[in-house]
Amino acid sequence: MSKSLETLGDYYKRLSHLHEKDGEHVLVEHGTSHFNISPRRYCDFITPYNRRDFYKISLIVGKGWFKYGRHELYIDRPVLFLPALNIPYSWKCDTEQQDGYFCLFNQEFFVGSHVFEAIKKTSLFKEWSKPIIFLTDVQLCTVTTFFDNMFRLNNSTYFFRHDALKSSLAAVLHLALEWRIDDLKVQEQSGTVRLYRLFDELLSRQFPLDSPAYPLEMRTPADFAARLHVHVNHLNASIKAVTGLTTTQIIKGRLLEEAKSLLIYTDWTVSEIAYTLGFDEPAHFNNYFKKNTKSSPLQFRRKTINL
């Protein structure tokens, strides 16, 4: 495992004793959709201080210490925890009485969902937002119902369980948005974070792409810097400071997400997708896609559609 980044594979190796079923390990295939949910009564008492490359939402009923980025907070009442991918965090239980749930899902779980496209344009999972929502008794009862349902669905043989899981997860995220009243306001943020937030909003606003007739307008750091009226070096430094990633890495990651959605949910040709995403040649798009997914666009389309 990386000293600073935990992958889904790392996670399942670290907690194999919790997730093995009938002696079988949980396998996470690269580039495929993944979702899992577990009761927190089986959680470790100390989790490592790392960034994750997957989403993790926790319904925490129990006392303990959170370290999130540079901040530490003692939890003594029920909370919903929705951390940003790029912020390292750790949890240390203070009592043996722990309850609730935690669910894991990756970027691919979002692919093709208009609900999640809308969610990604909000403050959820963003570096500038506060990740913890303290819950009233009524809110705890409401959100527990959805976690109970996700846990039931995840262990069922219902044919449409994946769609049902997405619906329940979307409901939890919308509740988080509805209840969130303590997000950092723009004027409360540092200049570095404000610039990253403006960049993120510009990037998210471009998706989903609707037609090959309207190709992507901004796809390079220089494009975004020009729109934000800052020098590209300043933009790059700010984004690196906030996320630990380069501007190019973030843009290319978002392009890859959109490429997967277009391959699965449209009948556009690979060439149309390539040009719409701003690639000069379909071959460049093919090489980029294969480098990041281990399969060509056509192989990915055939494999996903035939699942």
- Whether the Cβ atoms of residue 152 and residue 165 lie closer than 8 Å to each other: no
- Each residue's pLDDT expressed in tens, for the chain with a length of 307 residues: 344 678 888 888 877 666 555 444 566 666 678 999 999 875 555 676 677 888 999 999 999 998 888 788 999 999 999 998 878 888 888 888 899 999 999 888 877 677 777 887 888 888 878 899 999 999 999 999 999 999 999 999 999 998 999 999 999 999 999 998 555 554 555 788 889 989 988 998 888 888 888 899 999 999 999 999 999 999 999 998 888 889 999 999 889 989 998 998 889 999 999 999 999 999 999 999 999 888 999 999 988 776 5
Q: What DSSP assignment string belongs to 226-284?
A: HHHTS-HHHHHHHHHHHHSS-HHHHHHHHHHHHHHHHHHH----HHHHHHHTT-SSHHH
Domains of the chain: 5-179 (2.60.120.280), 188-305 (1.10.10.60)
Helix (H) or strand (E) holding 218: none
Decide the pairing of beta strands 55-61 and 99-105. Answer: antiparallel
